[in-house]
Structure 1
Amino acid sequence: MSKPKLSDDEITKRGQELYENSIRPQVETPENIGKIISINVETGEYVIGDDLLVISMRLRTKQADAALWTERIGFNAVYAVGGTLVRTVE
């Protein structure tokens, strides 16, 4: 698998900006809360699903070196290890 051309910091910055400024209003619906979204930060294309690996691979079939940013819709993290996910949306 190819490595993205962008740094981790740039992927995070672009992913957060895309999500907050254009994607969030479309996807933060009751039926999507708790699902995972993976965003290609270079194209703005995204996929929503329940399995991080599956949705990421769907984006990578279109662009092998895609710079992907992921979030759990309506929560503060994708996964919680030894902690609790905090709901950011009511």
Structure 2
Amino acid sequence: MFCPRIRRKSLITLNLRIAHMANPQLSGEEITQRGRELYEKSIRSQVETKENIGKIISINVETGEYEIGEDLIMTSRRLQAKQSDAPIWAGRIGFNAVYAVGGTLTRMA
């Protein structure tokens, strides 16, 4: 049976979440640029170790803080627990992408 009250409440919650995320201070391109620069210039040499190769790194591009783990969602959530509106860039340590869709991940030198 269709219950309009439940559906309307769900839509309101969804709209509030989208509205909260709809006003980013940085564009996706700026987040990507800052994340890559931070990783290459100041983080890569510290984290690209044998035990970290293949793990996910999420970086708050405003503060430079980062989290490493096996799961993209968990590393991002740990950063968001510190700053809920953190602009986050993520990568896979030692590789050119986080995930491969229809191809393979390429190991970086």
Q: TM-score range by the shorter chain?
A: over 0.9
State the identity as a percent: 70
**1:65 correspondence with 2:91:** no
What is the alpha-carbon distance in structure 2 between the residues aligned to residue 11 and residue 81 of structure 1? 22
Deviation at 1:20, TM superposition (A): 0.4
Question: Normalising by structure 2, what TM-score?
Answer: 0.78
What is the alpha-carbon distance in structure 2 between the residues aligned to residue 9 and residue 64 of structure 1? 20
Whether the aligned pair in 2 keeps the contact of 1:5 and 1:65 (CA below 8 Å) is: no
Q: Which has the higher contact order (CA 8 A, sep 6+)?
A: 1
Give runs of aligned pairs for residues 10-21 of structure 1, distance below 5 A: 10-21=30-41
For the aligned residues, what is the CA RMSD? Answer: 1.0
**Shift >6 Å, 4+ stretches:** none
Structure ranking higher in helix proportion: 2
What is the alpha-carbon distance in structure 1 between the residues aligned to residue 100 and residue 59 of structure 2? 20
Choose 3-12 or 36-45, whichever is displaced more: 3-12
Deviation at 1:6, TM superposition (A): 0.7
- Structure 2 stretches lacking a partner, 5+ long: 1-16
Question: Normalising by structure 1, what TM-score?
Answer: 0.94
| Code of the aligned partner of 1:32 | N
What is the alpha-carbon distance in structure 1 between the residues aligned to residue 85 and residue 25 of structure 2? 8
| Code of the aligned partner of 1:77 | A
What is the alpha-carbon distance in structure 2 between the residues aligned to residue 11 and residue 73 of structure 1? 18
What is the alpha-carbon distance in structure 2 between the residues aligned to residue 18 and residue 77 of structure 1? 16
Greater Cα radius of gyration, structure 1 or 2: 2
* Count of equivalent residues: 89
Question: Match for 2:44 among 20, 24, 32?
Answer: 24
Deviation at 1:81, TM superposition (A): 1.1
- Structure 1 stretches lacking a partner, 5+ long: none
